[in-house]
Amino acid sequence: MGNETEFDIIVYGASGFTGRLVAEYLSQEYAGDSSLRWAMAGRSAEKLAQVRDEIGAPADIPLVVADTSDPASIEAMVKRTRVVLTTVGPYQLYGGVVVAACAKHGTDYVDLCGEPAWMRQMIDAHAETAKQSGARIVFSCGFDSIPFDLGVFFLQQEALRQTGKPIQRIKGRVRKMKGTFSGGTAASLKASMAAAKADPGILQLMTNHFALTPGFSGAEQPPANVPEYDESLGSWAAPFIMAAINTRNIHRSNLLLKHQYGSDFVYDEMLLTGPGDQGKAIADAVAGDRSLSSDKAPKPGEGPSKEERENGFYDVLFIGTAANGKTLMASVSGQKDPGYGSTSRMIAESAICLVRDATSTPGGIWTTAPAMGEALIKRLVAHAGLQFKLES
């Protein structure tokens, strides 16, 4: 799409918990940037106006009323902007109509989706239309899966620079993380489990590492669903709840990068819990934790306090052996609570990156690394409080 649209970015879901944080970030980080044209969208103009005033956004930020139960309002919204940034989930309940409209009208799209079975359905249904229209549809532009997808990409670029060959096996290990999961994350998990119960095909997709690479199945991947002791790091490691989405996105990135990581690439992801008996006990407790899918999980629209968001952080290590036998390590770390404080910045920068930097990326259904790669890494470092570091 050219520049003839009214807006660069419409934040759809701006009166919800995460959408509000995105709007607040845009209004603060880009306060002096009059060339960025953005608007807030949601079901109620009244609620949007209230949020706009509460977050201290300029009074002239336009408000757009749109509701997924009224597809015509979604079509109208999509036609007015270059990118739709949507925080309205679970996406399997509310995302399909938005993706379809964006694919049809050539409008770019970013979301926070962690629902691989739905993403595969969208790829099957809309990838060709998006290719034809020029719409760049990019899923998972939050804590799942940006730090992981771009972390692997960052380490592989370094391996290619140093040895001319990719790393065949990378381990993603969350070293530190302080933060809370959102009500939206819990709702997505519950919706996914309900969908899997209703349709065995969905369960099959959810357990397949190559669910997002239609037509390609690579090397066997480690299960990473039981605690293990990692000799090389001197620490116990527990299953990481987001591995089920991150690994799928990373294999899709590799496919879209024409197997730059190799067609036999192996990747897994775990959470480090420390050495000794204590590390093992924590790893076992993490492995047995089902609180996100229980009735005690937060409800959509609920989330951590400002103080909790400000005090959160994460630090993820990526380890691989390069073609010359040397161990290469890189880390991605972020300030603020990963699920909200950092996520709201990451998705905002992803939308801006599509508008301003990744202009030559063609239409299609993408992941962040092949769609935006180094341009997005630069943005996240400059604006969003992330660090990408080579550690060895």
Q: Is 277 within the bounds of a domain?
A: yes
Q: Is 374 within the bounds of a domain?
A: no
Residues 23 and 82 in one domain: yes
Give yes or no for a contact between 37 and 8, defined as CB atoms under 8 angstroms apart.
Answer: yes
- How much is the average pLDDT of 142-153? 96
Q: Is 327 within the bounds of a domain?
A: yes
Q: Show the domain range for 128.
A: 7-142+346-368
pLDDT value for 3: 53
pLDDT tens column, 279-288 = 999 999 988 8
pLDDT at 38 over 80: yes
Q: Is 236 within the bounds of a domain?
A: yes
pTM of the shown model: 0.94
pLDDT at 24 over 70: yes
pLDDT value for 2: 47
Number of domains in the chain: 2
Residues 104 and 176 in one domain: no
pLDDT band at 163 (very low <50, low <70, confident <90, very high): very high
CA-based max dimension of the chain: 62
pLDDT band at 181 (very low <50, low <70, confident <90, very high): low
Identify which has the larger pLDDT, 349 or 198: 349
Residues 117 and 203 in one domain: no
